[in-house]
Amino acid sequence: MKNNNSRRKFIKDSAKVVGGIAGGMALAGVAGTNLNANQTKLDSKNLRALNLQEVSEGKRITSSGFAAFGPKYELKAHSFTRHPVGDNDILIEILYAGICHSDLHTVLGDHGEAKYPMVPGHEIAGVVTAVGKNVSKFKVGDYAGVGCMVNSCGECEMCKNGEQQFCQNAKTVFTYNSNDVFHGGENTMGGYSNNIVLSEKFAIKVPQNAKIERVAPLLCAGVTTFAPIKYSKVKRGQKVAVAGFGGLGHMAVKYMISLGAEVSVFDTTDDKRKAAQKMGVKRYFNVNKPKDFENLSSEFDFIISTIPYKYDINMYQKMLKLDGEMAIVGLPSHADNPSLDGNTTIWNFRRKIYSSLIGGVEITQEMIDYSIANNIYPDVEVIKATSSEINKAYQRVAKGEVQFRYVIDMKTL
Ligand SMILES: [Zn+2]
Ligand SMILES: [Zn+2]
C-alpha cells in the first residue's frame, strides 16, 4: 500500500461531502487503486474509486459499459458520463444486469426511435456507493434495484397513485433510450454498465438476504408479471395459463404456483416442457400441435400473454371462462401487435382483455419483498461482461433458446 495517507484523506473528504458515505462495503474497493483515471485502465475497481471522487467534487459520473451503435446485435464497449449525484439521488454500483427481450427490440428500433449509442438494460441489481444529502431511503452498502423507470413528474393523478409508468404529463423517464427531462433532456443510459445515478424515489430496496445474482430480472420480468396477477386477483384453486414461456413467462408461472393456482403453459416448442414440469406446471401445450388443446374452451380464469412476437390472440380469448381475464404484457414490435377479430369482440362471454405495462414503484417494491420472502427467483445464466458474451446471448434470446434469463455479471467488467 503505497499511499495510505492520501487514501485516508480521500475517504474523509468523500464522507464529508456526500454524508454517510463511510460505509465499509462501499469503500472496501478503494484500497490499492489509483485514483488518476488517465493513468490506469478503467476496470471496475478503478471506476469505483474514480466515481467516489467525482461524487465528492459534484462532477458528472464516469461510466463504462456496452452500447449498441446501430440497429444490430453488435454491442461494443462504451464509456460515457451520467448526471452528477444530486441531493435526492443515489449512486449505485451495478453488480448484475439482466438481458430483457425488450432490449433486443429497443436496440433494433422496434419500439420507436432508437438513439445510438444506446446502453440497454433495465433489470439492475447493485449496491449503493454514495447518497445525496437529502436521501433517507438508502445508506451506503445497501442493495438496491432499478427497473424500467428512473423518474416521472410526481404531480399528476397517475404518479400520485403509484402508476408512474403512465405519467399523464408524459414525463416518465425510462431507464435507457429515454429523454431525461429532469436533466436537460439528455438520453438515459441503462444497466449494461458499472453504475447508475437516479432519484432515491425510483430505486427499489432489496433485502440484504437476497440472492443478489438472481435479483436483476425481477425488476422487469418480475414486476411485469406480478402486477397483473395481482390486479386480476389470481388465487388458490383457479385454472390459469401462461402464453409464452420465456423470461417473463417463467416468472408468471412461479408467482401463480406460489399462490396455489393450477398453471398451464403454452409455448411454440417442446424444449421447455421438462423445465415447466419441474416448476410445478400441470399442463404444457405446444401451440404448433393444436390438436392437443382443441377442447380447451372456457377453461381458464386468467391468462397472461408474454409473447413478444406475432400471435393469434383470438385463440386464447376463447379459452377464458365467463368473466375471465387476460393480461397482455409481452411487447411484440409495433408491426406485430395482436388484434381481435370482430366475432370474438362481440360474442365473448364478458371475457376481459387488458394490457399491463411493467408496474409503478410501490408495486415493484411489493414484488421484490414478496419474491425474496417466498424464495421466488428467475432461473438465470450468468455471463461475463464482454461484448462477445453479450452478443452471443442476444442471438440466443432472439431464437428463444435461453432458459430463462441471461444476467451479465458487471463485476467482471
Ligand atoms: Zn424488460
Ligand atoms: Zn406524472
CATH code where residue 155 lies: 3.90.180.10
Point out the ligand nearest to the CA of residue 163.
2
Q: Give yes or no: residues 204 and 282 share one domain.
A: no
pLDDT at 141: 98
What range does the domain containing 236 cover? 222-355
What separation in Å is there between the alpha carbon of 205 and the centre of ligand 2? 22
Q: Give yes or no: residues 16 and 128 share one domain.
A: yes
Q: Give yes or no: residues 194 and 101 share one domain.
A: yes
What separation in Å is there between the alpha carbon of 103 and the centre of ligand 1? 7
Q: Give yes or no: residues 126 and 20 share one domain.
A: yes
What separation in Å is there between the alpha carbon of 123 and the centre of ligand 1? 7
Considering the domain boundaries, does residue 372 fall inside one?
no
Point out the ligand nearest to the CA of residue 181.
2
Rounded Cα distance, 257 and 267, in Å: 18
What separation in Å is there between the alpha carbon of 156 and the centre of ligand 2? 4
What separation in Å is there between the alpha carbon of 173 and the centre of ligand 1? 15
Point out the ligand nearest to the CA of residue 164.
2
Considering the domain boundaries, does residue 42 fall inside one?
yes
What separation in Å is there between the alpha carbon of 127 and the centre of ligand 2? 28
pLDDT at 1: 38
Q: Give yes or no: residues 171 and 238 share one domain.
A: no
pLDDT at 41: 56
What pTM value is reported for the model? 0.88
Contacts of 295 (CB under 8 A, 6+ apart): none
What separation in Å is there between the alpha carbon of 361 and the centre of ligand 2? 13
What separation in Å is there between the alpha carbon of 330 and the centre of ligand 1? 9
Asked which of 311, 340, 355 is the last residue of a domain, the reply is 355
Rounded to whole angstroms, what are the CA distances from 269 to 48, 139, 243, 266, 401? 44, 46, 12, 9, 10
pLDDT tens, N- to C-terminus, the chain (413 residues): 334 444 444 333 343 334 333 333 333 333 333 344 344 456 778 889 999 999 999 999 999 999 999 999 999 999 999 999 999 999 999 999 999 999 999 999 998 899 999 999 999 999 999 999 999 999 999 999 999 999 999 999 999 999 999 999 999 999 999 999 999 999 999 999 999 999 999 999 999 999 999 999 999 999 999 999 999 999 999 999 999 999 999 999 999 999 999 999 999 999 999 999 999 999 999 999 999 999 999 999 999 999 988 899 999 999 999 999 999 998 888 888 888 887 766 777 889 999 999 999 999 999 999 999 999 999 999 999 999 999 999 999 999 888 899 999 999 98
Q: Give yes or no: residues 317 and 385 share one domain.
A: no
Q: Give yes or no: residues 172 and 226 share one domain.
A: no
Q: Give yes or no: residues 278 and 389 share one domain.
A: no
Rounded Cα distance, 85 and 74, in Å: 31
Q: Give yes or no: residues 204 and 177 share one domain.
A: yes
Q: Give yes or no: residues 103 and 193 share one domain.
A: yes
In 3D, which of 56, 48, 46 has the Cα closest to residue 12? 56
Do 361 and 201 contact (CB within 8 A), yes or no?
A: yes
What separation in Å is there between the alpha carbon of 142 and the centre of ligand 1? 24
Considering the domain boundaries, does residue 362 fall inside one?
no
CATH number at residue 303: 3.40.50.720
pLDDT at 307: 93
Q: Give yes or no: residues 302 and 264 share one domain.
A: yes
Considering the domain boundaries, does residue 370 fall inside one?
no
Considering the domain boundaries, does residue 24 fall inside one?
yes
Q: Give yes or no: residues 68 and 187 share one domain.
A: yes
Considering the domain boundaries, does residue 325 fall inside one?
yes
Q: How many independent structural domains does the chain possess? A: 2
What separation in Å is there between the alpha carbon of 31 and the centre of ligand 1? 36
Rounded Cα distance, 106 and 188, in Å: 13
Considering the domain boundaries, does residue 393 fall inside one?
yes
Contacts of 210 (CB under 8 A, 6+ apart): 143, 368, 372
What separation in Å is there between the alpha carbon of 363 and the centre of ligand 2? 16
